[in-house]
Amino acid sequence: MNDESTKIVAIDGPAASGKSTVARQVAQELGIVFVSSGEMYRAFTWWVLENDVDPTDKNSVLELLKSTKFICGKSENKSTITIDGKLLTRAEMASEPVNQNVSVIAAIPEVRARLVAEQRAYAEKSGVVMEGRDIGSVVFPDTPLKFYIDASPEVRQQRRAAEGIEDSIANRDKIDSNRKASPLVIPEDAVVVDSSYMTAEEVVGEVLREIRART
Protein backbone atom coordinates (compact mmCIF):
# COMPACT_ATOMS: atom_id res chain seq x y z
CA MET A 1 0.00 0.00 0.00
CA ASN A 2 2.83 2.38 -0.68
CA ASP A 3 1.05 3.72 -3.79
CA GLU A 4 -0.94 6.77 -2.68
CA SER A 5 -3.45 6.20 -5.50
CA THR A 6 -4.68 2.99 -3.87
CA LYS A 7 -5.03 4.25 -0.31
CA ILE A 8 -8.43 4.21 1.34
CA VAL A 9 -8.42 6.37 4.46
CA ALA A 10 -11.58 6.16 6.57
CA ILE A 11 -12.29 9.09 8.88
CA ASP A 12 -15.37 8.91 11.10
CA GLY A 13 -16.74 11.01 13.91
CA PRO A 14 -19.80 12.80 15.24
CA ALA A 15 -21.15 16.10 13.95
CA ALA A 16 -18.81 19.11 14.30
CA SER A 17 -15.87 17.01 15.46
CA GLY A 18 -13.71 18.56 12.75
CA LYS A 19 -13.50 15.41 10.65
CA SER A 20 -14.39 17.12 7.36
CA THR A 21 -11.68 19.75 7.71
CA VAL A 22 -9.13 17.12 8.72
CA ALA A 23 -10.10 14.70 5.94
CA ARG A 24 -9.92 17.44 3.32
CA GLN A 25 -6.42 18.50 4.41
CA VAL A 26 -5.18 14.90 4.70
CA ALA A 27 -6.38 14.21 1.16
CA GLN A 28 -4.58 17.31 -0.07
CA GLU A 29 -1.34 16.23 1.61
CA LEU A 30 -1.61 12.73 0.12
CA GLY A 31 -2.65 14.00 -3.30
CA ILE A 32 -5.79 11.88 -3.47
CA VAL A 33 -9.50 12.66 -3.60
CA PHE A 34 -11.49 13.83 -0.59
CA VAL A 35 -15.02 12.44 -0.38
CA SER A 36 -17.64 13.45 2.17
CA SER A 37 -20.17 10.64 2.50
CA GLY A 38 -22.38 13.08 4.36
CA GLU A 39 -22.62 15.21 1.24
CA MET A 40 -24.08 12.23 -0.60
CA TYR A 41 -26.84 11.95 2.01
CA ARG A 42 -27.30 15.71 1.87
CA ALA A 43 -27.50 15.59 -1.91
CA PHE A 44 -30.24 12.98 -1.86
CA THR A 45 -32.06 14.86 0.91
CA TRP A 46 -31.97 17.97 -1.28
CA TRP A 47 -33.36 15.89 -4.16
CA VAL A 48 -36.17 14.55 -1.96
CA LEU A 49 -37.18 18.08 -0.99
CA GLU A 50 -36.76 19.38 -4.54
CA ASN A 51 -39.25 16.74 -5.69
CA ASP A 52 -41.75 17.71 -2.96
CA VAL A 53 -41.45 14.31 -1.31
CA ASP A 54 -42.14 14.16 2.43
CA PRO A 55 -38.88 12.96 4.07
CA THR A 56 -40.92 11.04 6.65
CA ASP A 57 -42.84 9.14 3.94
CA LYS A 58 -40.45 6.22 3.56
CA ASN A 59 -42.27 4.57 0.66
CA SER A 60 -42.25 7.77 -1.40
CA VAL A 61 -38.59 8.36 -0.58
CA LEU A 62 -37.66 4.85 -1.72
CA GLU A 63 -39.71 5.22 -4.90
CA LEU A 64 -37.69 8.33 -5.73
CA LEU A 65 -34.45 6.55 -4.82
CA LYS A 66 -35.16 3.82 -7.39
CA SER A 67 -35.25 6.32 -10.23
CA THR A 68 -32.38 8.49 -9.01
CA LYS A 69 -29.06 8.33 -10.85
CA PHE A 70 -25.99 9.39 -8.88
CA ILE A 71 -22.75 10.35 -10.58
CA CYS A 72 -19.75 10.88 -8.32
CA GLY A 73 -16.97 12.74 -10.05
CA LYS A 74 -14.00 14.85 -9.05
CA SER A 75 -12.64 18.31 -9.68
CA GLU A 76 -9.23 19.37 -8.38
CA ASN A 77 -9.07 16.43 -5.94
CA LYS A 78 -12.54 17.21 -4.58
CA SER A 79 -15.55 15.01 -5.13
CA THR A 80 -18.58 16.27 -7.02
CA ILE A 81 -22.11 14.92 -6.91
CA THR A 82 -24.54 14.98 -9.80
CA ILE A 83 -28.11 13.79 -9.37
CA ASP A 84 -30.16 13.17 -12.51
CA GLY A 85 -28.03 15.65 -14.42
CA LYS A 86 -27.96 18.32 -11.71
CA LEU A 87 -24.49 19.17 -10.37
CA LEU A 88 -25.12 20.14 -6.76
CA THR A 89 -23.39 23.03 -5.05
CA ARG A 90 -22.23 22.82 -1.47
CA ALA A 91 -24.56 25.70 -0.62
CA GLU A 92 -27.52 23.62 -1.76
CA MET A 93 -26.37 20.63 0.27
CA ALA A 94 -25.85 22.79 3.37
CA SER A 95 -29.19 24.62 3.20
CA GLU A 96 -31.30 24.82 6.33
CA PRO A 97 -34.10 22.54 4.98
CA VAL A 98 -31.44 19.90 4.25
CA ASN A 99 -29.92 20.36 7.72
CA GLN A 100 -33.32 19.73 9.28
CA ASN A 101 -34.09 16.57 7.31
CA VAL A 102 -30.83 14.80 6.48
CA SER A 103 -30.82 12.66 9.65
CA VAL A 104 -34.27 11.33 8.79
CA ILE A 105 -33.21 10.37 5.27
CA ALA A 106 -29.87 8.92 6.42
CA ALA A 107 -31.64 6.66 8.92
CA ILE A 108 -33.47 4.75 6.17
CA PRO A 109 -31.64 1.41 5.69
CA GLU A 110 -32.35 1.18 1.97
CA VAL A 111 -30.95 4.67 1.40
CA ARG A 112 -27.79 3.80 3.30
CA ALA A 113 -27.37 0.54 1.37
CA ARG A 114 -27.62 2.35 -1.96
CA LEU A 115 -25.20 5.11 -1.00
CA VAL A 116 -22.69 2.68 0.54
CA ALA A 117 -22.64 0.87 -2.81
CA GLU A 118 -22.04 4.20 -4.57
CA GLN A 119 -19.21 5.04 -2.15
CA ARG A 120 -17.49 1.69 -2.67
CA ALA A 121 -17.79 1.99 -6.45
CA TYR A 122 -16.23 5.45 -6.33
CA ALA A 123 -13.28 4.25 -4.24
CA GLU A 124 -12.54 1.48 -6.76
CA LYS A 125 -11.50 4.15 -9.25
CA SER A 126 -8.75 5.69 -7.13
CA GLY A 127 -7.48 6.24 -3.63
CA VAL A 128 -9.73 8.31 -1.38
CA VAL A 129 -9.92 9.95 1.98
CA MET A 130 -13.57 9.45 2.88
CA GLU A 131 -15.22 10.91 5.94
CA GLY A 132 -18.57 10.15 7.49
CA ARG A 133 -20.15 8.21 10.31
CA ASP A 134 -19.85 4.61 9.12
CA ILE A 135 -16.84 4.61 6.79
CA GLY A 136 -14.53 2.46 8.91
CA SER A 137 -17.31 0.35 10.42
CA VAL A 138 -19.43 -0.39 7.32
CA VAL A 139 -18.17 1.07 4.04
CA PHE A 140 -14.48 0.07 4.27
CA PRO A 141 -14.12 -2.18 7.34
CA ASP A 142 -10.99 -3.83 5.91
CA THR A 143 -8.87 -0.73 5.42
CA PRO A 144 -6.03 -0.50 7.94
CA LEU A 145 -6.26 3.30 7.82
CA LYS A 146 -9.19 4.05 10.14
CA PHE A 147 -9.55 7.18 12.25
CA TYR A 148 -12.23 8.45 14.61
CA ILE A 149 -12.14 12.20 15.21
CA ASP A 150 -13.99 13.17 18.38
CA ALA A 151 -14.58 16.27 20.53
CA SER A 152 -16.67 17.06 23.58
CA PRO A 153 -20.37 17.89 23.03
CA GLU A 154 -19.78 21.38 24.42
CA VAL A 155 -16.96 22.14 21.99
CA ARG A 156 -18.91 20.71 19.08
CA GLN A 157 -21.97 22.81 19.91
CA GLN A 158 -19.77 25.92 20.02
CA ARG A 159 -18.30 25.06 16.63
CA ARG A 160 -21.78 24.56 15.19
CA ALA A 161 -22.92 27.92 16.53
CA ALA A 162 -19.85 29.62 15.07
CA GLU A 163 -20.88 28.26 11.67
CA GLY A 164 -24.34 29.76 12.10
CA ILE A 165 -25.98 26.35 12.38
CA GLU A 166 -28.57 26.10 15.13
CA ASP A 167 -29.26 22.36 15.25
CA SER A 168 -28.79 20.49 18.54
CA ILE A 169 -25.63 18.41 18.79
CA ALA A 170 -27.20 16.27 21.52
CA ASN A 171 -30.19 15.51 19.29
CA ARG A 172 -28.00 14.75 16.28
CA ASP A 173 -25.80 12.43 18.37
CA LYS A 174 -28.88 10.59 19.62
CA ILE A 175 -30.19 10.04 16.11
CA ASP A 176 -26.80 8.99 14.71
CA SER A 177 -25.98 6.62 17.57
CA ASN A 178 -29.40 4.98 17.89
CA ARG A 179 -30.44 4.46 14.28
CA LYS A 180 -30.85 0.83 13.24
CA ALA A 181 -28.88 1.18 10.02
CA SER A 182 -25.16 1.78 10.49
CA PRO A 183 -25.22 3.60 13.84
CA LEU A 184 -22.30 5.85 14.72
CA VAL A 185 -19.65 3.74 16.47
CA ILE A 186 -15.90 3.84 16.91
CA PRO A 187 -14.64 1.37 14.27
CA GLU A 188 -12.56 -1.56 15.44
CA ASP A 189 -8.83 -0.77 15.26
CA ALA A 190 -9.48 2.93 14.60
CA VAL A 191 -7.08 5.54 15.90
CA VAL A 192 -9.13 7.87 18.12
CA VAL A 193 -8.15 11.55 18.14
CA ASP A 194 -9.84 14.02 20.50
CA SER A 195 -9.81 17.34 18.68
CA SER A 196 -11.46 19.35 21.48
CA TYR A 197 -8.35 21.39 22.25
CA MET A 198 -6.26 20.73 19.15
CA THR A 199 -5.93 22.85 16.05
CA ALA A 200 -6.90 21.32 12.73
CA GLU A 201 -3.23 21.31 11.74
CA GLU A 202 -2.31 19.32 14.86
CA VAL A 203 -4.98 16.72 14.14
CA VAL A 204 -3.93 16.47 10.49
CA GLY A 205 -0.32 15.99 11.57
CA GLU A 206 -1.26 13.15 13.90
CA VAL A 207 -3.36 11.43 11.24
CA LEU A 208 -0.59 11.71 8.64
CA ARG A 209 1.99 10.30 11.06
CA GLU A 210 -0.23 7.27 11.67
CA ILE A 211 -0.86 6.76 7.95
CA ARG A 212 2.85 6.85 7.16
CA ALA A 213 3.64 4.53 10.05
CA ARG A 214 1.10 1.99 8.81
CA THR A 215 2.10 2.08 5.17
Domain assignment of residue 152, given as a range: 4-214
CATH number of the domain to which 129 belongs: 3.40.50.300
Return the minimum-mean-pLDDT range out of 8-12, 168-172, 201-205: 168-172
* Residue 1 predicted with pLDDT over 50: no
Taking CA atoms, 84 is separated from 71, 95, 124, 183, 204, in Å, by 8, 19, 22, 28, 35
Mean of per-residue pLDDT scores for the chain: 92
Beta carbons of 130 and 139 less than 8 angstroms apart: yes
The winner for highest mean pLDDT among 32-36, 46-50, 159-163, 183-187 is 46-50
pLDDT at 55: 98
Taking CA atoms, 199 is separated from 9, 169, 206, in Å, by 20, 20, 11
User: pTM of the predicted model, to two decimals?
Assistant: 0.87
Beta carbons of 107 and 184 less than 8 angstroms apart: no
Return the minimum-mean-pLDDT range out of 5-9, 58-62, 106-110: 5-9
Say how many domains are in the chain. Answer: 1
pLDDT, tens digit, 9 for 90 and up, residues 177-205: 888 888 899 999 999 999 999 999 999 99
Q: What are phi and psi for residue 134, nearest 5 degrees?
A: -140, 25
For residues 123-145, average pLDDT: 93
- 169, exposed or middle or buried, with CB in 10 Å at 0-12, 13-18, 19+? buried
